[in-house]
Amino acid sequence: MYLPVLHSPVLHSSVLHNPLGLRHRGARLYQVAVLAAILTTGCATPLDQVDAATTPDRQSYAEQVDQLANTAPSPDGESEPQSTSTPVPAPTQAMESPTGVAATPQPVPTIADLSYEPGIAQLLADPRLLAGDRVGLIVNQASVHDARHTVDVLDALAEVELVALFAPEHGVRGRVGAGALVTDEIDAASGLFVHSLYGASRAPTAGALADIDVLVYDLQDVGARFYTYISTLGLAMQAAAESGVRFVVLDRPNPHGRRLSGHVLEPDFTSFVGQYPIPMLYGLTSGELAQAIKGERWLDGLETLDLEVVPMQQWAGTDGWPLDRNAWIGPSPGLPHLGGTLTYPGAVLFEATTLSYGRGTDLAFSVVGAPWLDAASLVSQLRELDLDGVEFAVTNFTPRSTPTATDPAFVDLALEGVHWRSIDHETFDPVVAAVAMLGLIADQADRAGQRLIDRPEFFDLLAGTADLRLGIEQRKPVNEIVASWSAETAAFGTRMLPYRLYEG
């Protein structure tokens, strides 16, 4: 049975009608070809190949993506924007490998593997929400349910006209390196025009929304403030409100469940890696966060937004991402496996240091090392802290330059470092673990005559405050640092209760 759609009752303004009256796939493909001819750069499919690439008898989106992919993904680079776009192979799911060698890719999950049903499954059960609408879709390679991509799902619905895709960071197929700009293009797998939301503009333009009735968001998030998909979410909501376009969120799980950790972002540190006054781990799903963005007025102009959330079924806030039954499809090149996703909210702080955090290996955000680091001593000290839910071990890894991780720290140098992982989802706090690691590593850096935090401004943007960096530099005990944010995160959690859609 389809759960009721959660609806924000506001005035729904009409949008411009498609002047060409295009309501079927053949006409849509012609429109795509015309758009391609207008483009001067960024077209993935040459105009003379559009017909062949977008035949109505084409394979499914997921099948074509599989054929376009040549190898497994490589880890992310830094979260901050870079200047150029580097296409890389589409990711497949991979399991952790402490040796630094990629394990065998795992299959896309089927419905039998899932203990919950995402928003797209509810929409498929009752597509009346989008009946008769021209739809724009914000997706990437992880927008999958029951081995079907959301592009395929919506394109197969007779009631819906899918007219355009919108690409977040990494692109609609996750083949662009972290921080690299994404360009407008024709998507080779679907034949749809792709508007970049991580290029010259970070939000849909009025022109891109002119022939759209509803903008649908279906991205798997990781529950961390600096993961840029939630910035894309808010800016897309803002653009939809300005254009009178309805906005629908197809909800998916937060891998970290309801955990709250880290400082609430201070206004002076607002950026694309910190758009809202929320903790580093904020304990909401994308649908819940969308309601909070509007309800708390964290962005201007959302009062008239027609926002609807299609909720999940069979998921509770305490579930996170169940490790026993759910396969993980990496939402970005650097998080191809669940292990790195669970440590990422703390490990991201290492991006602003002189350490290697595993960039250029298959264990990005799960290892840390440097030539001067005494890994055995560090592991011994960390174990003495007896932190909840985390395991530390000495490991060896060698960063390599890859299409998504060009020139990583200590490239081609064999390093001894620390591998850390969650062993208890209910108690593991990656931010606390990372802060403990940074404090102990800072002592080693001093003794080795090394500077640890070499990009303090970027560190502060990630932390949302200067207080965390100062606490580490002043060698404050980890309990004292954690205590400094406890009250504000608790207050945040209380304030978010009205926006929660799930028990737990």
Contact 359, 334 (CB under 8 A): yes
By CB neighbour count within 10 A (0-12 exposed, 13-18 middle, 19+ buried), where does 474 fall?
A: exposed
User: What residue type is 170 in one-letter code?
Assistant: H
Query: Tell me, what amino acid is at 369?
Result: G
Alpha-carbon separation of residue 341 from 25, 138, 254, 346, 366 (angstroms): 38, 21, 11, 10, 9
Specify whether the CB–CB gap between 237 and 441 falls below 8 A: no
| pTM, entire model | 0.80
Burial 182-191 (b: 16+ CB within 10 A, else e): bbbbbbbbbb
Residues with Cβ within 8 Å of residue 446, at least 6 apart in sequence: none
- pLDDT score recorded for residue 404: 81
Whole-angstrom distance, CA of residue 503 vs CA of residue 501: 7
What distance in Å separates the CA atoms of residue 267 and residue 465, rounded to the nearest whole number?
9
Sheet containing 193-196: order of strands: 6-7, 307-310, 246-250, 214-217, 134-138, 161-167, 193-196, 185-186
Amino acid at position 333, single letter: P
Burial pattern 374-393, b for ≥16 Cβ within 10 A else e, equals bbeebbebbeebebebbebe
Q: List the beta bridge partners of residue 163.
A: none
Residue identified by tokens 């006409």 is 27
Closest-CA residue to 389 (of 441, 427, 337): 427
Which candidate, 252, 447, 426, places its Cα nearest to that of 342?
426
**C-alpha torsion angle, residues 223, 225, 230, 231 (rounded to 10):** -170
Structural domains in the chain plus CATH codes: 6-91+116-310 (3.40.50.12170), 338-473 (3.90.1150.140)
As beta bridge partners, residue 148 has: 145
Return the closest-CA partner of residue 485 out of 284, 260, 262, 281. 262
pLDDT given at position 322: 63
Q: Please give the Cα distance from 352 to 468 (Å, whole number).
A: 13
Amino acid at 198: Y
Low-confidence ranges of the chain (pLDDT < 50): 1-114, 324-325
Of 349, 433, 317, which Cα lies nearest the Cα of 385? 433
CA neighbours closer than 13 Å in the CB half-sphere of residue 101: 2
Give the integer Cα–Cα distance in Å for 482 and 198: 34
Look at residue 327 in the predicted model and tell me its pLDDT. 78
Token pair for residue 147?
Answer: 């081995």
- As a three-state string, the secondary structure of 73-128 is CCCCCCCCCCCCCCECCCCCECCCCCCCCCCCCECCCCHHHCCCECHHHHHHHCHH
